[in-house]
Amino acid sequence: MGLHFGLYEGHIAEDEEAAKSRYSWLIAKGRNCYEYVDGKGKSWANGMRYVNCARDDGEQNLVAFQYRRQIFYRTCWVMGPGCELLVPYEDEYGQELGSKWKRACGQER
């Protein structure tokens, strides 16, 4: 459990368009300094752009984390072949999608 995989790839940007993209992750570069990795454009992105939003805590099977200005995913438990990859998003984005997210992954199923 806790298998690390991924590396979310995309175009690195600091503009408002990247901030609004449903395929972007916020990257902290330092204190109050941020950029985005935007996987919207398929030529910049990889398969990690298809990780979907969990509708509730029970669906979540991944957690996203930043390591050295890159986004990776970690599994919450062992998943079988063909399992859809689902990660929670922060409250504001989740509410925009019509859902609410309250906890971070880490508990075993």
Give the H or E element holding residue 64.
strand 62-67
Looking at residue 91, what is its pLDDT?
A: 55
Residue % of the chain over a pLDDT of 90? 50
Looking at residue 31, what is its pLDDT?
A: 87
Give the H or E element holding residue 16.
helix 16-20
pTM of the complete model: 0.76
CB–CB of 106/63 below 8 Å? Answer: yes
Neighbour count for residue 86 (Cβ, 10 Å): 19
Looking at residue 90, what is its pLDDT?
A: 64
The Cα–Cα gap between 50 and 47 comes to 6
